[in-house]
Structure 1
Amino acid sequence: MINTEIKKIYEDGNFLVIDKPAGLETAAEVKTDEPTLVDWLVSNYPNIVKVGPDPARPGVLHRLDKNASGLLVVAKTEAAFEHLSKQFKERTIKKEYTVLVHGEVSQDEGVIEFPIARANSGRFAALPLGSESGRLAITEYEVTKRFKNFTLLSARIKTGRTHQIRVHFFALGYPVVGDKLYRSKKTKEPLLPRLFLHASKIGFSDLDGTWREFQSDLPEELKDFLNNL
């Protein structure tokens, strides 16, 4: 039973765009009693169990970290799943995130291209450019606002690696606020009980070729945190 409200941003016969709250896992990696977004999908859309190749995450093409929030697009039909899968593969899906990091990022904009590989204890690591191991990962960013000891950024990912934004900014020395996994010993205990990472925009091509783009405002707890900086 999911006690947190799942907000639907858009829905038609093929697609569903939802605003995932922080604290909710997209899909369970291992069997657990903890509710997930997939549980909610199956409960509200029983036919979705037939969509996609993975019965553990029907209709789901991408995910957000448990303690992140924001927009996810879900396929309600097999045709929609295949259509979106192609766009993810060709990197034509638009995914934009609002993120607050520790430290004052000096460049106004930039591209991070460190490959990412699995490390240990559930962590991933950014590898030096040119490394033969690791998977390609590309994050573009622009500074939105600088605060004393913090920077608010807009980040766009061209690839969808696990923990990509968190790993990339940690590698540059700017851990995401609220991140318990990727932080240095110098970083104080998380100032937030969740990640300051919000999927604020998503865009994709509909089955008829129409470009659809959606936006989500920051949750109140993140707005409040910014107002207190």
Structure 2
Amino acid sequence: MSEHTESYIVDAAHSGNRLDLFLSEVSSHSRSHIKKLVSHGYIHIEDTVAKKAGILINEGQTIRLEQEASYEHVREEEKVDTSLYAKIVVLGETSDYVVIHKPAGLLVHPTEAGEKVTLTAWLVQTYPDIEHVGENPVRPGIVHRLDKEASGTLVVAKTNAMFHHLKDQFKARSVEKQYTVLVYGTIEANEDTIDFPIDRGNDGRMVSRPRLKAVTLNTVDNIQPGKEARTDFKVIKRLGRFSLLSVRIHSGRTHQIRVHMYAYAHPVVGDTLYFNKKLLKKNDEHLGRLFLHAAKLCFQDLAGAMHCFESPLPEELQQYLDSLA
């Protein structure tokens, strides 16, 4: 068997799912890329080459992807679709920074899979000098991120002075970040704080994923001794079996809102990574994305003045809310 660089174990929540859907959720590869890898024989279920992208997988199985170099030519076959760039909106900019609205579906920067269509690619194309800003050439100007599936407000440094200034503010947790989030279930409390730790899991996911039955914060704390994290939320509106929330995070853990709301027993609508896809109601499927939007971002400029930027709720999210009213 060839050497492998990626390995994923199927958990109970994804047992019975299609191979391509599972890998598109837990890895950085797109579903179309996964199908090409399958067609070239580069994906194994245990020790057997996967013959079909739609094959159903079972709990406990190990899924392996062959080493990156062996399927480099597969990536070259893929067409580069830059249509998402048209949905990027500049909300404000100075000589030191630019604040943009990132559309859902767009990666902030490339992963190890080497994606070509990313926010950073657009930034370097639009603002060439940004290429030399920051500490990592893969993430020029980037001081914080949004999940690929999320949309909303994001600030990018255009100078190294602003990069370090913003970095210090995020480290000090003085940046205000507010999100609009729709979750499953009716939350009775008008507001609450979730503060259990978050850490990486052992199943290939970016963060550990509490089981749905482990919904009490004490239980989660006992099984997950990770990094401290705090999420505050207020209920904006209750919509039948859904709750619309205004969320503020005081730390910046990967997938923080998603994993916290899942453990709180109110998963984010459209989240197939932290909520069993089989349990999603059929009438939720037309949303087609994660209902998590970075609505507001406040930070200080180099002179110490505070600036706030807001990103309106995307049309598809507003239409979904209207359908629930």
Q: Tell me the distance in 2 between the aligned counterparts of 1:47 and 1:90.
A: 27
Partner deviation per Cα, 1:20-71 (whole Å, 9 max, x = no partner): 0111011112143440001001111111121111111010011111111000
| Residue number in structure 2 paired with 1:143 | 235
Find 1:2's aligned residue among 58, 64, 82: 82
- Deviates further, 152-161 or 117-126: 117-126
1:133 is the counterpart of 2:198: no
SS in 2 for 1:140: strand
1:122 is the counterpart of 2:205: yes
The number of residue pairs the alignment matches comes to 229
Structure 2 unmatched ranges of 5 or more: 1-80, 211-219
Alignment of 1:64-213 (within 5 A): 64-119=146-201, 120-125=203-208, 128-129=220-221, 133-184=225-276, 186-188=279-281, 191=285, 192-213=287-308
Task: Compute the displacement of 1:212 (Å).
Answer: 0.1
The structure with more radius of gyration: 2
Q: CA RMSD in A?
A: 1.7
Letter in 1 for 2:180: T
Q: TM-score under structure 1 normalisation?
A: 0.95
Residues 99 and 197 in structure 1, CA contact (< 8 A), matched pair in contact too: yes
Structure 1 unmatched ranges of 5 or more: none
| Residue number in structure 1 paired with 2:66 | none
Task: Compute the displacement of 1:217 (Å).
Answer: 1.0
Higher relative contact order (Cα pairs below 8 Å, separated by 6+ residues): 1
Higher helix share: 2
Task: Compute the displacement of 1:123 (Å).
Answer: 4.6
Task: Compute the displacement of 1:199 (Å).
Answer: 0.3
Residues 114 and 126 in structure 1, CA contact (< 8 A), matched pair in contact too: no
- Deviates further, 212-221 or 24-33: 24-33
| Residue number in structure 2 paired with 1:38 | 120
Residues 139 and 156 in structure 1, CA contact (< 8 A), matched pair in contact too: yes
State the percentage of identical aligned residues. 48
